[in-house]
Amino acid sequence: MMDYRSESPQRICLTALTMAAEGSKADIAKPLHGMGSGVLEVALPFGGDAYRVVYVVQMGDEVWVVHAFQKKSTQGIKTPKREMDLIRDRIRRLRKEFGK
């Protein structure tokens, strides 16, 4: 387990994505519910802010980053609807492209 406290949010997310590309899963990556198999999210609280990276691991031999953003929602931990709609649309287009 990596000690993330001394790293920047960008470095932490890059580490999680690198692990995914190498076939493993970072301990901070969790399935993004309601998006289907192989869709994971890094949800990172950091210094009073929140960062999200959503990625798909089962598209060919590649890891596709679907969306990355700094969450500025006033709705607590819930991801804003506009962000979820964007994620759904991008995943739908990827699945269509790869026939999944």
Instruction: Please report, in tens digits, the pLDDT of each residue of the chain (100 residues total).
Output: 555 566 888 899 999 999 999 989 999 999 998 898 899 999 888 877 888 999 988 776 789 999 999 887 555 667 888 999 999 999 999 989 887 6
pLDDT of residue 14: 93
pLDDT of residue 47: 78
Q: What is the pTM of this model?
A: 0.82
DSSP reduced 3-state for 93: helix
Break the chain into its structural domains and give their ranges. 9-98
Spatial separation of the C-alpha atoms in residues 13 and 29, rounded to whole Å: 9
Report which secondary-structure segment, H or E, holds 17.
helix 9-21
Single out the residue of 78, 79, 88 nearest to residue 56, CA to CA. Answer: 88
